[in-house]
Amino acid sequence: MILEIAQIDVKLGLEEEFEANVAKAVPLFQRARGCRAMELQRSIERPNRYRLMVRWETLENHTVNFRESADFREWRALVGHCFETPPYVEHTWLCAAGFGPRW
């Protein structure tokens, strides 16, 4: 399982619109091949900074299947205008488990 972590800085004043449009986009992720979960976290220290976390079965499910889809283009149409800068995206895999629910 791969965890995509996208750091997204949103233009000041567009935070509510961004959050609403991410909620609208949930079905795009739900139907994406290999997508198992997604959530959006907002920074307390920097309220215009978000982290979108998406669980994918494989890296290619994100980088090929989703990124080359019409649903990705719809996702970007919903939220892209809110970006202050391009998102910084990393992919990780679990290398040690502690306790509690795993994201």
- pLDDT tens figures, 5-51: 999 999 999 999 999 999 999 999 999 999 999 999 999 999 999 99
Note down the domain range covering 36.
2-92
99 lies in some domain: no
Mean per-residue pLDDT of the chain:
96
Say what angle helices 15-30 and 70-79 make with each other, to 10 degrees.
170
100 lies in some domain: no
Res. 103: pLDDT tops 70: no
Give me the CATH number covering residue 26: 3.30.70.100
Burial of residue 16, with CB atoms counted within 10 A of its CB: 0-12 exposed, 13-18 middle, 19 or more buried: exposed
Confidence of residue 100 (pLDDT cuts 50, 70, 90): confident
CA gap 22, 87 in Å, rounded = 14
Question: Model-level pTM?
Answer: 0.92
What is the model's pLDDT at position 97? 87
97 lies in some domain: no
8 A C-beta contact, residue 54 and residue 4: yes
8 lies in some domain: yes
80 lies in some domain: yes
